[in-house]
């Protein structure tokens, strides 16, 4: 069985649209300060950073 290695450039080239798709879901969730979001995805972590930014903004209000 061959081993596969993470290639960031290949991911960006072929699946870079994925965080944009997740952004719509985050908009629909409209998180509240008492809620938590568990991101079980993979990739570069861009959507995770977006989730973190939204939760911090919500927590500060």
Q: pLDDT per position in the chain (61 positions), as tens?
A: 667 887 888 888 988 888 888 888 888 888 776 778 887 877 788 888 888 887 776 555 4
Domain count for the chain, please give it.
1
What does the alpha-carbon distance between residue 4 and residue 61 come to, in Å, rounded to a whole number? 43
Domain-embedded: residue 27:
no
Q: Residue 5: inside a domain, yes or no? A: no
Q: What pLDDT, on the 0 to 100 scale, is given for residue 58?
A: 54
Q: Is residue 55 part of a domain?
A: yes
> What pLDDT score does 56 carry?
74
CB 17 within 8 A of CB 41: no
Q: Output the pTM of the full model.
A: 0.62
Question: Which structural domain, as residue segments, surrounds residue 43?
Answer: 33-61
Query: What pLDDT was estimated at residue 35?
Result: 79
Q: Establish if 47 belongs to a structural domain.
A: yes
């Amino acid at each position: 069985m061959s081993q596969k290695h993470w290639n960031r450039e290949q991911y960006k080239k072929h699946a870079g649209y994925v965080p944009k798709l997740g952004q719509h879901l985050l908009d629909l969730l409209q998180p509240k300060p008492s809620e938590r979001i568990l991101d079980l995805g993979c990739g570069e972590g861009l959507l995770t950073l977006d989730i973190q930014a939204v939760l911090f903004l919500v927590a500060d209000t």
